[in-house]
Amino acid sequence: MWFVPITENNPYQLGRTLTALKAELLRRVRNDLMPIAGVPVADVLEVINSVDSLERDAWAQAWAARGDRHLERANALAATDPAAAGDEYRHAWRLFQFARWPVENTPFKRHVYPRALAAFRNHGRLLDPPLEMVRIPFDNQAIVGYLRVPRSGRTPPLVIGISGLDSRKEDVMALADAYLTRGMALLALDMPGTGEAPAPLERGAERMFAAVLDWVAGRGDIDARRVVIQGRSWSGYWAALLAATEQSRIRGAVLHGGPIHHYFQPQWLGPSLQSPEYLYDYLPATAALFGVETLDELLAIAPGYSLQTLGVLDRPSAPLLLINGARDSQIPIADVELLAARHPAATVWINPEGGHMGRSPAWPGKRIFAEVTAPWLARMLDLS
């Protein structure tokens, strides 16, 4: 087994040389690829031309400094041009968000994360309809989420979108317009063990989502009888689990590239953490999710989360939409195949040329949503 301590300057952290990382960032931003999608190319060029270190905080500070410039513009415009200010707040958020990506594991990354939250919330209050920040009681704490409801004059159905390993609820809510224009409300949440979620990754953490569904039932502006759970990447795990545990309260669940069983086995998980699909710091981000510090500890604890081992796959399930790419090097396609075999009624979409989450040049994320996810959501929510 490998033993890789998670330290601030461990050379394992980025996995690419500085030159190679800069080239990969440019390739991704020019092709609208995660995790840099949405950042202006000019910002990326300025940052990569200014930074000369792979040290985590030096790298993060370079992105945050560029974000500060957008934040200053946003604050200057807020009183006179709210639309332009909203755009600048959004740009500031994207840069602060990337500064803390993929996990807040250094002093500066922990410092910049609240700035990302503040910039996004300032952006959200200028939207139409505006962002509603919600706090749902849970174990003497609060589940913090974002809600946007379309101005349709009708009580809309709800999609509960859960963030992934390195994304946050802000990333989920940034896509809200695609739901609102289709008559769906969107509630964005951090998954357990990440962001502002009050629950760590642990068996039984689905209680957090049960509390959310209780809260939804008390909202008069959402149709609690028409709710779908959508998991992206790692949070597809929670979508699959909730399809079983909350079968009576949801219309369905979208498992978009999530882990089920094979992912958690050491023979897959260990080598997959070196996947070039992941930009950098895959091991530290995954270790932080599980609350461990070394790869050996991660490989020892992960198998206990298998939904097959936990007996979840033997339970009845709400309707499922299963999406991934056959060439995903982060989460094995065998997990989709396993779940599909246990639930023959599931709708399955696999891109034979696709990588993680099924994405490929011919099938970028926006096309997958428009042609696969959105039509299925509309059927489940009685909107088609």
Long-range contacts of 369-375 (CB under 8 A, 24+ apart): 369/175, 369/178, 370/178, 372/321, 372/323, 373/230, 373/254, 373/256, 373/321, 373/323, 374/178, 374/182
Characterize the bridge pairing of strands 227-232 and 320-325.
unpaired
CB atoms within 10 A of CB 362: 9
- Asked if residue 3 has pLDDT above 90, the reply is no
Nearest to 358 by CA among 225, 220, 254, 253: 254
CA 158, CA 249: separation in Å to the nearest integer?
Answer: 12
268-288 burial, b at 16+ Cβ within 10 Å, e below that, comes to: bbbebbeeebbbbbbbbbbbb
pLDDT in tens, 15-55: 688 999 999 999 999 999 999 999 999 999 999 999 998 99
- CATH superfamily membership of 130-384: Alpha/Beta hydrolase fold, catalytic domain (3.40.50.1820)
pLDDT at position 15: 66
What does the domain layout of the chain look like in residue ranges? 11-126, 130-384
pTM: 0.95
User: 45 exposed, middle or buried (CB, 10 Å; 0-12, 13-18, 19+)?
Assistant: middle
pLDDT in tens, 331-344: 999 999 999 999 99
pLDDT band at 11 (very low <50, low <70, confident <90, very high): very low
**Percentage of residues in the chain having pLDDT higher than 90:** 94
**Amino acid found at 332:** P
CA 374, CA 303: separation in Å to the nearest integer?
Answer: 33
User: 258 in helix, strand or coil?
Assistant: coil
- Plot region of 32 (φ>0 → left; ψ -120 to 50 → alpha; else → beta): left
